[in-house]
Structure 1
Amino acid sequence: MSFPISDWPDVPAALIAEVRAFVRIDHEADDAAIAAFLRSAASLCEDFTGQMLVARPVTDMLPARHAWQKLKRLPVQSITTVEQVAANGIASPLAVADYALEIDSDGIGWIRLHRSDGGSRIRVTYASGLAVDWDELPAGLRQGIVRMAGYFYANRDGVDAGGPPSAVIALWRPYRRMRIV
């Protein structure tokens, strides 16, 4: 359930420098490749933890129901818009009185319609992520991403040193959220 890597926010130079220091290179010639490895490592981290790392906008299409429904991404920071989508694809904003929103203590976003104008779906736009930017990521996640990017860099020529470092899993495991669907 990962996002396309192109949807990631720009990787800061300081994070690229951390990977350079970790793999002990002193030139900037490979910075573009390192940035790509960082995005790939962050995407793997999101898939492993079940949480979005850096906050960014998300749009979910859900059936128009009167029962509570979970939003797909975690942790939800804010829910910004709710629209009814007609069968012909035309969307119209719902009045605040027409739905209820909840973000629980686990960061799960919930929505429930009080009434519907006949549309079969709703489109919910919200922000989801653990941190507002790369610099605010928890230290364990950040260090695991740096190590994974370093592993990708060191093994970019196809020589595998026996698989990703087990330290990466150890750093990410405390943040893992299992979801039963």
Structure 2
Amino acid sequence: MSFPIADWPDLPAALIAEVREFVRIDHQADDDAIDAFLRGAASLCEDFTGQMLIVRSVTDMLPAPHVWQKLKRLPVQSITSVEYVAANGTAAALAVEDYALDIDSDGIGWIRLHQSDGGSRIRVTYSAGLAMDWDELPAGLRQGIVRMAGYLYANRDGVDAGGPPSAVTALWRPHRRMRIA
């Protein structure tokens, strides 16, 4: 359920420097490759933890029954719009009194229509993520991303040293959110 790597917010130079220091290189010639490996590592982290790292805007298309439905991404920070989408694809904003919203203590966003025609869909736009930027990311997640990017950099030529370091999993596991689909 990852975003395309190109959709990630810009990486700070300090994060690229952390990877350079971790893999013990003293030149900047591979910074573009390190940037790509960091983006890949961050995407793997999101997939492993089940949470978006950096707050970004998300849009979900959902069926429109008269029941509570979970939004797909975690942790939800805010729900910004709800639109009715007709079968022909036209969209119209729903009035606030037409639906109920909730963000529970686990960061799960919920929506329920008060009335439904049974055949329409709704488009929900919301913000989700753990931190506003890379510097606010929990230290364990950030260090795991740096280690994973370093592993990917060191093994970029296809030489596998036995799989990703177990330290990465140990750093990410406390933040893992399991969901039953």
TM-score where L is the length of structure 1 = 0.97
Q: Percent identity?
A: 85
The answer to whether 1:149 aligns with 2:149 is: yes
Contact 2:59 2:124 survives alignment (8 Å): yes
Kindly report which structure 2 residues correspond to 1:20-39, keeping only aligned pairs within 5 A, or say none. Answer: 20-39=20-39
Runs of at least 5 residues in structure 1 that lack an aligned partner in the other structure: none
The answer to whether 1:18 aligns with 2:12 is: no
Helix, strand or coil at the partner of 1:11: coil
| Corresponding position of 2:114 | 114
Runs of at least 5 residues in structure 2 that lack an aligned partner in the other structure: none
| Corresponding position of 1:135 | 135
Q: CA RMSD in A?
A: 1.1
| Corresponding position of 1:49 | 49
Aligned mates of 2:45, 2:93 — CA distance in 1? 34
User: How far does the alpha carbon of each residue in 1:10-49 deviate from its partner, in whole angstroms, 9 at most, with x for none?
Assistant: 1110100000010111111111110100000000001100
What letter matches 1:157 in structure 2?
A: D
User: How far does the alpha carbon of each residue in 1:101-135 deviate from its partner, in whole angstroms, 9 at most, with x for none?
Assistant: 00000000000001247761000000000001111
Contact 1:84 1:119 survives alignment (8 Å): no
Aligned mates of 1:118, 1:175 — CA distance in 2? 37
User: How far does the alpha carbon of each residue in 1:124-159 deviate from its partner, in whole angstroms, 9 at most, with x for none?
Assistant: 000000001111100000000000000011111111
Kindly report which structure 2 residues correspond to 1:84-103, keeping only aligned pairs within 5 A, or say none. Answer: 84-103=84-103
Aligned mates of 1:66, 1:93 — CA distance in 2? 17
Aligned length: 181
4+ aligned runs moved over 6 Å, structure 1: none
Helix, strand or coil at the partner of 2:74: coil
**Cα 1:118–1:49, aligned 2, differ >3 Å: closer, same or farther?**
closer
